[in-house]
Amino acid sequence: MPATQHEIAKHLGISRGTLYRVLSNSPLVNAATRERVLNEVKRLNYAPNAIARGLKMRCTHTVGVVGPAALKLSNIDKLNALHFAARERGYTMVLGYSDGSADEDARCIRELQSRMVDGFIAFGRGLPLSTPHYQALIDSGKHLVTLYPLPGLEVDCVFVHTREAYRNLTTHLIKLGHRDIALLIDASASQYTLNREEGFRETMTEAGLKPREDWIVRVTPDGISTPGDERREKSLWKISSYQYGFWGTSLLLARRERPTAIVCYSDEFAIGALRAADVAGIEVPRELSIVGYDDQEPARFAHVPLTTMRQPDKELGEKAIDLLLDRIEGKLPSGPVTIPLAAKLVVRESCGPPLSRA
């Protein structure tokens, strides 16, 4: 039970007003009194009660993150970046957990609301169903920054340009000479997935290559989905992405006609793919090129170090927090701001020219 201002003031025989003046560095206080107070404050290791302060000030110096249902390697760098950026500006990050479903997003938002966070970062899964909840949040005058562009939402947004990134990955393979390229993604309708697919399709088409629909593999917890299938949206995060990559690639490689390269949803998928190729006795990159996305550490230390895209996580966190806090502090003109950030191609050893056919 930490000391309160009331107790300290009583103990020192002064009023709470005077005590507060010392604590808030007001000059309107006798030097001797100030001295006495500061000593006592230090002696008792007084720490202001942030709860009471927040209630009074209607401002808790806290940003709420509508985060992922479970922490994963693929999101912790962004969370760390947000945390440090917030801390840098004197704010604390509170992490809410939502599995990305609309209900959970709503619950998560309510919970953060009730803790009186000063603003929100939408991390989430980027599923369109949550849009109304975010819209309601904005309408109620709260500040929100999303980490992916959500169609139909007029809101501040800082995001990694995934579509562009997948254009670059695909282009990289095409330049190496590949024409038979597969795409290995998950079956959700999240922005993350859609953007990857769009980037891939656009680039293939522009290069005069018609993407083969049976080489666009959508993995679900139940296997590989047929187009339009969106089963088990909610439990997706529980399944291992490595397993997805392994599974999808194994099925792909077991077919009669095989691609010479695979664009994967993530590094996890790609490492699973690498393993599947190994098990199938297919040599990477000689017989099969594989690219990932994220530049996670395991990608760098994989048996065949992965060619992948590095996301500017630090920059993303800083820009998002700056945008949010500038809004909160009223430093920004009205009208939503959108800041796209570019991922960077990291070339390693998992890609090569296609094996010329017999």
Binding site for DNA (CB under 7 A): 4-6, 13-18, 20-21, 23-24, 27-30, 33, 48-49, 52-53, 55-58
Write out the binding residues for a second copy, residues 33-52 only, by CB under 8 A: 47-52
Rounded-to-integer distance, Cα 175 and Cα 230, Å: 34
Asked if 40 and 8 touch (Cβ cutoff 8 Å), the reply is yes
Write out the binding residues for a second copy, residues 237-256 only, by CB under 8 A: 240, 242, 246
First vs last C-alpha separation in the chain: 79
Cis bond leading into 285, ω under 30°? yes
Q: Is 16 in the site for a second copy (CB under 8 A)?
A: no
- Our CB check for a second copy shows the closer of 33 and 80 to be 80
The C-alpha R_g of the chain, in whole angstroms, comes to 26
Q: Site for a second copy (CB under 8 A): which residue of 87, 255, 286, 344?
A: 87
Q: From the list a second copy, DNA, none, which binds 94 (C-beta under 5 to 8 Å, kind-based)?
A: a second copy
Q: From the list a second copy, DNA, none, which binds 16 (C-beta under 5 to 8 Å, kind-based)?
A: DNA
* Of the candidates 152, 15, 133, 74, the residue with the CA atom closest to the CA atom of residue 308: 74
Asked if 232 and 222 touch (Cβ cutoff 8 Å), the reply is yes
Q: Which residue has the tokens 């709503």?
A: 106
| Ramachandran bin of 295, using left for φ above 0, alpha for ψ from -120 to 50, beta for the remaining angles | left
- Our CB check for a second copy shows the closer of 115 and 179 to be 115
- Our CB check for DNA shows the closer of 18 and 170 to be 18
Q: From the list DNA, a second copy, none, which binds 29 (C-beta under 5 to 8 Å, kind-based)?
A: DNA
- Count CB neighbours of 247 within 10 A: 21
Asked if 336 and 158 touch (Cβ cutoff 8 Å), the reply is no
Largest CA distance in the chain: 95
Q: From the list DNA, a second copy, none, which binds 92 (C-beta under 5 to 8 Å, kind-based)?
A: a second copy
Q: Site for a second copy (CB under 8 A): which residue of 9, 158, 264, 271?
A: 271
Q: Is 278 in the site for a second copy (CB under 8 A)?
A: yes
Q: Which residue has the tokens 């001797």?
A: 32
- Our CB check for a second copy shows the closer of 170 and 289 to be 289
Q: Site for a second copy (CB under 8 A): which residue of 43, 231, 303, 344?
A: 303
Query: Which parts of 44-157 fold into alpha helices (H)?
Result: 50-57, 73-88, 102-114, 131-139
Q: Which stretch binds a second copy (CB under 8 A): 25-33, 79-87, 165-173, 315-323?
A: 79-87
Rounded-to-integer distance, Cα 157 and Cα 271, Å: 31
Q: Is 135 in the site for a second copy (CB under 8 A)?
A: no
Please give the structure tokens belonging to residue 114.
């009730």
- Our CB check for a second copy shows the closer of 71 and 347 to be 71
- Our CB check for a second copy shows the closer of 200 and 247 to be 247
Chain residues binding a second copy by CB under 8 A are 1-2, 47-52, 54-55, 60, 70-73, 76, 79-80, 83, 87, 92, 94-95, 97, 110-111, 113-116, 140-141, 240, 242, 246, 268, 271-272, 274-275, 278, 297-298, 300-303
